[in-house]
Amino acid sequence: MSTNRLQQLKGHILPGNKLIRAMASPLTTHVLNTAKGVPGANIALSLHRLQDPSTETWLLINTGHTNADGRFPGLMTRQDFLCGVYKLRFETAQYWETMGETSFYPYVEIVFTISDPDQKYHIPLLLSQFSYSTYRGS
């Protein structure tokens, strides 16, 4: 790769790039398949915000699949990131089926509260066929 092309790429990906920072999601996730020690690639997921606690009505914000690194870039925009209760739902049964495996959990829902939308929140999912764990990452 030429030096000029590397410099162009560097300008797009370095943290000092204002465009990248403006587009960066304030909420990120990462799935790790702990049974195999690899990223959880191509897992269908959806992001929801609790719209009405009295009826448990959830507003769908985004859907998609994790990338080859087990991440979902652009999960949500900074302007849509409000205080509230959110839910990330991972379709784990489909993921394991594509690998010829079965899973005890057909899906994983992680419900969490955003109290300061100016912060960055990272919600990792550590996954195997018979267990999962999560935490608030940085």
Higher pLDDT among residues 4 and 98, named by residue = 98
How far does CA 52 lie from the centroid of its chain? 23
Q: pLDDT of 40-59, one tens digit each? A: 999 999 999 999 989 999 99
Closest CA to 85 of 56, 52, 114: 114
Domains in the chain, CATH or no CATH each = 26-134 (2.60.40.180)
Q: What is the pLDDT of residue 16?
A: 47
Instruction: Specify the pTM.
Output: 0.82
DSSP string, 25-43: -SEEEEEEETTTTEE-TT-
- Per-residue confidence at 22, pLDDT binned at 50, 70, 90? very low
Average pLDDT over residues 64-73: 97
Contact call for residues 63 and 46 (beta carbons, < 8 A): yes
Q: What angle do CA 59, 136, 39 make, to 5 degrees?
A: 90
Q: pLDDT of 72-114, one tens digit each? A: 999 999 999 999 999 999 999 999 999 999 999 999 999 999 9
Average pLDDT over residues 126-134: 97
Q: What is the pLDDT of residue 2?
A: 53
User: Which residues of 2-73 form beta strands (DSSP E)?
Assistant: 27-33, 38-39, 44-52, 57-65
